Structure 1
Amino acid sequence: MQRLVWATAAPPLTVRKAHSAAELRAAGCLRAAAFTVLPPDRSEFARQSFLRMKTDAAWQALEGKVAGTDTDYKDCTVTPLIALLPAETCPAGAEPACMLPAEPGGGSRPQLVVGTLDLNQGSKLPAEELVGQLPLHGDKRRSRAYISNVATWAGARRQGIARRLLQEAEREAAAAGVQHLYVHVEACNTAAAALYLSSGFKVEREETEAVARALNRNRRLLLHIELQQGPGS
């Protein structure tokens, strides 16, 4: 895939909450493309068919979380964030479903969703063994949140998009009254861990190798940052 490289100043990157069905579907498409690994011998038709299936599943799951109809997330408020670039600044190779068309009336240009993450406000994430410890007292449902599903379009990586998403997630979380923000990361994912650590997160808990083997996955870390509360928080 052709990587995004700007010869002059980078175009403006917009980060905002995803609300519409088109935005949620674009976020689901980006996640499906980022997290799905297909054998190299599959045809392009097979790849596209499988990606559409994964996109629909990710889209429906995200809609259920946001609407509060996903019973596993009944104790979490889920806010998806998306990062967008003007479509004309991006090279070819993006999935069509990640594209947001121009709004009627000429008030906007087509945009490409190049990054996404979820902000989950609640005491814990469903099916997660590593749970944050802070705060020790008070309303943990309101004052604790987790970042999940961080994804960046392959053609636009190493452009600071994930860091911008993290910064906006911290602002959204603080505005919602969150004091303690968490994120899980695989210990072997040194690039992701470096991003979080350089953004102020610190390791609070980590799995043992024995636990990771029992769960048949890579060993994971739980990182934490304490957020500064603004006036009126």
Structure 2
Amino acid sequence: MALLSSPHPLPTQFPASPASLRVRRPPITACQLCTHKQSVRQFDQSTLTVAEGSSESELWAAACLRVRSFYHFKPSMFGLQDHRRYLAERELEAMKERVGGKRKGFRKVSCINATVPLSQISSPSVSDDFCSSCKFNNNGEDRVVVGTLDLNQCVSLPDEITGNRPEGIGADFARAYLSNVCVGKELHRNGLGYALVAKSKLVAQEWGISDLYVHVAVDNEPAKKLYMKSGFVYEKDEPAWQARFLDRPRRILLWFGIPGVQL
């Protein structure tokens, strides 16, 4: 399990970078998962915390994880570390704008992170880059952001098909979308994706959200399995012309009704 959701609810425009640094972001689907086999690093599940992030250091760690997850770089790329840091700084800036309520069209956005103590995953089987770049300090304890997502309270996400529920007045208060969902590849198959989605449902319920949505690539069976096992059901398909125009795999929209919330 690798990438579970698209990088930004709104596209972030980056200044042109030198040709030696330029990286083409792969076609982003709203929910991506890698299916290749790899070793799994286990950790003590009792040390896992899934909560809304607020400190700048934690948001920075989440931004670094998103860059590691949503971009693909050639190891031989000149200035790679500087370019990755540049992208993380841009993502942090956009994240703070969204979470701070400054993004037009979004009533509320929360960055929800799954974190574990650094001591739980620091080992030869986990890259030093992952531990160092996604690390932050919480009350004197070094922790690592191992999974992250955004919960967006809004009527629609730019360049995405729009949910049908609820209808009419009040939809901007009661509809929300998941985006930017990703889990560190070093900790796949530890249930982190499910934990992030479960927490997002609880936060959505607190906000009075009645209808929760997520976009998933039509051919991404692992991602669809994750969300459908979490209670999401199919609502509609993205038109093929739209996917071609945006140069990305076609998507479907999945819906989940938050229990106990009614307009």
TM-score by length of 2: 0.78
2:178 paired with 1:142: no
**Structure 2: which 5+ residue stretches go unaligned?**
1-37
* 2:62 paired residue number: 27
Give distance in 1, aligned partners of 2:144 and 2:40: 12
SS state at 2:92 partner:
helix
**Structure 1: which 5+ residue stretches go unaligned?**
none
Deviations 1:30-59 (A, max 9, x none): 11111011135426xx33222111111111
* 2:53 paired residue number: 18
Is residue 11–residue 86 contact of structure 1 (8 Å, CA) maintained in 2? no
TM-score by length of 1: 0.87
Is residue 29–residue 95 contact of structure 1 (8 Å, CA) maintained in 2? no
Is residue 68–residue 74 contact of structure 1 (8 Å, CA) maintained in 2? no
Q: Which amino acid aligns with 1:169?
A: S
Q: Give identity over the alignment, percent.
A: 31
* 2:236 paired residue number: 205
Higher RCO by CA contacts (8 Å cutoff, separation 6 or greater):
2
Moved over 6 A (4+): none
Q: Say if 1:123 and 1:208 are closer, same or farther in 2 by CA, change over 3 A.
A: closer
* 2:201 paired residue number: 170
Question: Please, what is the CA RMSD of the aligned residues?
Answer: 2.1
2:135 paired with 1:99: yes
Q: Which amino acid aligns with 1:116?
A: T
Within the candidate set 70, 74, 82, 1:49 is matched to 82
* 1:191 paired residue number: 222
Give distance in 2, aligned partners of 1:128 and 1:181: 18
Report the Cα offset of residue 77 of structure 1: 0.8
Q: How many residues matched? A: 221
Give distance in 2, aligned partners of 1:98 and 1:40: 19
Q: Which amino acid aligns with 2:222?
A: A
SS state at 2:223 partner:
helix
Report the Cα offset of residue 3 of structure 1: 5.0
2:77 paired with 1:6: no
